[in-house]
Structure 1
Amino acid sequence: MTLLAKISPHADERTSRLAGIALMLLSVFMFSCGDATGKFIVSTYSVGQLLCLRACAALCVLAPMIWRQRRTFAQLERPRLQLVRIVLSTLEVAAFFLATAYLPLADVVTYYLACPIFVTALSAIVLREHVGWRRWSAILIGFMGVLIALRPSAQSFSWPALIALCGSLSFAVLMLITRSLRATPDIVLATLQFVGTLLLGAVLAPIGWVTPSPKSLVLFATAGVISVCALLCVNRSLKLASASIVVPYQYSMIIWAVIFGIVVFGDVPSLATIIGAAIIIGAGLYIFLRERSLGREEAAVSPPV
């Protein structure tokens, strides 16, 4: 019994870590499925319809949790900053799916992988946080990866790529704001994001409205349910294991983006995209490890909700 008592805590801790990693990998897979579903939808329907119907389905799933924590919605910290966060989150989700209508999924995800690099750079410029030469070097290398993936030439540079990059920058600012709203419950933050996309979708959906078929309605609902389930898995993962253990596994989203791109859409990623993604991931992981060594655990990147 004494021996078991000594071993058990370590075994439980190891089990929690493994469960956290498994849930993070599952959430990334589900987010990737949701992204692929959204890309498939916007090939027929408008981004406004996707945002509106997807958010409706997500809010229906969240309704029981919203009801249980309804009192927390009346006590929001820093309401103006919450509003800015809603606007940014709504615009970056719209930018993500608008870009996927014109670009391969792997390309769009690659630009979003640069988010931790943008966050670190903005933390130094906007928040005046100290960033040493090592992380500045990683930031510059990461930007080189973005440029390689972006292929900025007169022949290849396009406005969808610019939209995806702007979406990634918006997501970086969103993360900085979320960092300062840590006291707000996760369910409140997620709900407000879905409400924002619902409102924007409701405004844009009538433009070029196409009446969905029953099968398409199932796809819209599936996209919303997947996004909520993936979000819950991420939250649970971070409760079972520390961010330093599970966050690096979020970069596996590029693998799924490539697989879904090839299998579902027939999009073979270019060599520039692969090289750029590899450089961005390397720089992002270095920044993350450096943050951990300084005692600051930050989420690397999460796909749009």
Structure 2
Amino acid sequence: MASTTETDNFAARLAPVAGPAIMLLGMFMFALNDAMGKWLVASYGLGQVVLIRSVAALLILSPFLWHAGLKPIISAERPLMQFARVAFSTGEVFCFYYAVMYLPLADVMTYWLAAPIYVAAASPLLLKEKVGWRRWTAISFGFIGVLITLEPSSAMFTMPAIISIVGSVAFAFMLLTGRTLRGTPDKTLVFFQLLGAAIAGLIFAPFNWAPLNSSSEILLLCLLGVVAMLAHMLVNRALKISDAATVAPLQYTLLIWAIIFGWMFFGDLPRTTMLVGSALIIGSGLFIFFRERQLKARDTVLPAVPE
């Protein structure tokens, strides 16, 4: 029987790889959720898919909420900001599933990966954060990447492309409002997010409800919510056991899985402009992320230095 010391040593050796491994698994689950969503919205109404997905996810989340009690939900900070975040998150979900009905999964994912660039661009105005010339340069390259992905032409502003941009901006504002709600527990934020999507799905589902002809179809729709909840839980766990600088850049593996799933399930091959644009977006996002980490570390150290 292994001793406690041996077990602790094994856990210590495993820790450096556990966080990245869990984050990679979480990204795989998110990509799988997106591919399943693209498959399902081809047969079922948009509101119907969002409704069943959200209810299934709420059922998975309910034991954790029960354990935490109702106080974190009832006494949540800044109700108006909570409502704004829910509105942005709900709009983002509907825009995403609408976009993947008409566009390749990798294209839509590329637009969504630009959200951190929008956050960096909006933070000086909305969060009063200072952004220097280096990050403004990275932001500019990120916007160029978005334009390249759009393939500038007379047909660039199709409705799916416009919805993709609107959805990615809504996602960015969801992230921005989340920055102002750091005191709210993750489970509470996810609960409000799912509840908002469920209510919106309940409103829109009757307008385009498709019959559920078999138990396997119901199971697949519910599985969409289960996979989404597992993805959220894996990512949150990865961020708790590893430094953000180690695991956050792994979010860009979403694009790799989107390309693979798009080819396997839908026969979509990535366009050259999408690959070039995504490279600029990912490079810009990584630079902004590590630059912000560098500045936060410097600001932490500076006050301790004697004048």
**TM-score, normalised with respect to structure 2:** 0.91
Query: Structure 1 pair 163/241, CA: closer, same or farther in 2 (3 Å)?
Result: same
The alignment covers a number of residue pairs equal to 291
Deviation at 1:158, TM superposition (A): 1.1
Per the alignment, residue 231 of structure 1 pairs with: 232
In structure 1, stretches of 5+ residues that fail to align are: 297-305
3-state SS in 2 of match to 1:206: helix
Instruction: String of CA shifts for 1:135-174, please: whole Å, max 9, x gaps.
Output: 0000000100000001131134311111111111111111
Per the alignment, residue 207 of structure 2 pairs with: 207
Per the alignment, residue 125 of structure 2 pairs with: 125
Please state if 1:155 is matched with 2:194. no
3-state SS in 2 of match to 1:76: coil
Amino acid at match of 2:106: A
Is the Cα–Cα contact under 8 Å of residues 151 and 157 in structure 1 kept in the other structure? no
Amino acid at match of 2:148: I
Per the alignment, residue 141 of structure 2 pairs with: 141
Deviation at 1:216, TM superposition (A): 1.6
Instruction: String of CA shifts for 1:62-96, please: whole Å, max 9, x gaps.
Output: 11111112221111101111011111100001101
Per the alignment, residue 16 of structure 1 pairs with: 15
Q: Partners in 1 of 2:251 and 2:227 — Cα distance?
A: 16
Amino acid at match of 1:89: S
Is the Cα–Cα contact under 8 Å of residues 117 and 284 in structure 2 kept in the other structure? yes
Please state if 1:101 is matched with 2:101. yes
Per the alignment, residue 299 of structure 1 pairs with: none
Aligned positions of 1:224-303 closer than 5 A: 224-295=225-296
Q: State the superposition RMSD in angstroms.
A: 1.7
Per the alignment, residue 194 of structure 1 pairs with: 194
Please state if 1:66 is matched with 2:65. yes
Per the alignment, residue 302 of structure 2 pairs with: none
Per the alignment, residue 26 of structure 1 pairs with: 25
Q: Partners in 2 of 1:34 and 1:53 — Cα distance?
A: 13
Please state if 1:48 is matched with 2:47. yes
Q: Partners in 2 of 1:14 and 1:111 — Cα distance?
A: 37
Per the alignment, residue 216 of structure 1 pairs with: 217
Deviates more, 1:65-74 or 1:228-237: 65-74
Structure number with larger C-alpha Rg: 2
In structure 2, stretches of 5+ residues that fail to align are: 298-307
Deviation at 1:10, TM superposition (A): 8.9
**TM-score, normalised with respect to structure 1:** 0.92
Overall identity of the aligned pairs, in %: 45
Q: Partners in 2 of 1:109 and 1:200 — Cα distance?
A: 23
Deviation at 1:127, TM superposition (A): 2.1
Structure with the largest fraction of helix: 2
